[in-house]
């Protein structure tokens, strides 16, 4: 549904086409929350993210580690033992 409450009907010729549509739509919807990588094969995520450059881990993992490094280094149990 769009902002003005219009809806769209998407049709695919094959099951594979439909699954590709669903994957693409999920990536757009979940993009702000990590790219919709949950529930997908790691290989699919890595292949999709190659367009952003080579990485050692999925972007979401890198973002989580960066967040912890910026805000959590003083918290016990993350990177610091009690």
Tens digit of each residue's pLDDT (9 = 90 or more) over 40-70: 777 877 787 888 788 778 888 888 888 888 8
Burial class (CB in 10 A: 0-12, 13-18, 19+), 59: middle
Residue 10 in domain: no
More confident residue, 37 or 75: 75
The residue to which tokens 């702000």 are assigned:
32
Let me know if residue 5 belongs to a domain. no
**Which domain range does residue 63 map to?**
15-72
Q: Is residue 6 assigned to a domain?
A: no
Is 82 inside any structural domain?
Answer: no
In whole angstroms, what is the distance from residue 16 CA to residue 12 CA? 8
Share of the chain above pLDDT 90, in %: 6
Q: Tell whether pTM > 0.75.
A: no
Q: Is residue 23 part of a domain?
A: yes
Q: Structural domain tally of the chain?
A: 1
Given pLDDT bands bounded at 50, 70 and 90, which one contains residue 81? low
Q: How many Cα atoms occupy the beta-carbon half-sphere of 17 within 13 Å?
A: 5
Q: Is 77 helix (H, G, I), strand (E, B) or coil?
A: coil
> Within a domain: residue 47?
yes
């Amino acid at each position: 549904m769009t902002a003005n409450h219009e809806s769209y009907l998407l049709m695919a010729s094959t099951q594979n086409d439909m699954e590709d549509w669903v994957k693409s739509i999920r990536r757009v919807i979940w993009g702000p929350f990590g790219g919709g990588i949950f529930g997908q094969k790691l290989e699919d995520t890595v292949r999709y993210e190659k367009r952003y450059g080579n990485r050692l881990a999925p972007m979401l993992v890198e973002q989580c580690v960066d967040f912890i490094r910026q805000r959590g280094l003083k918290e016990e149990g993350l990177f610091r033992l009690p």
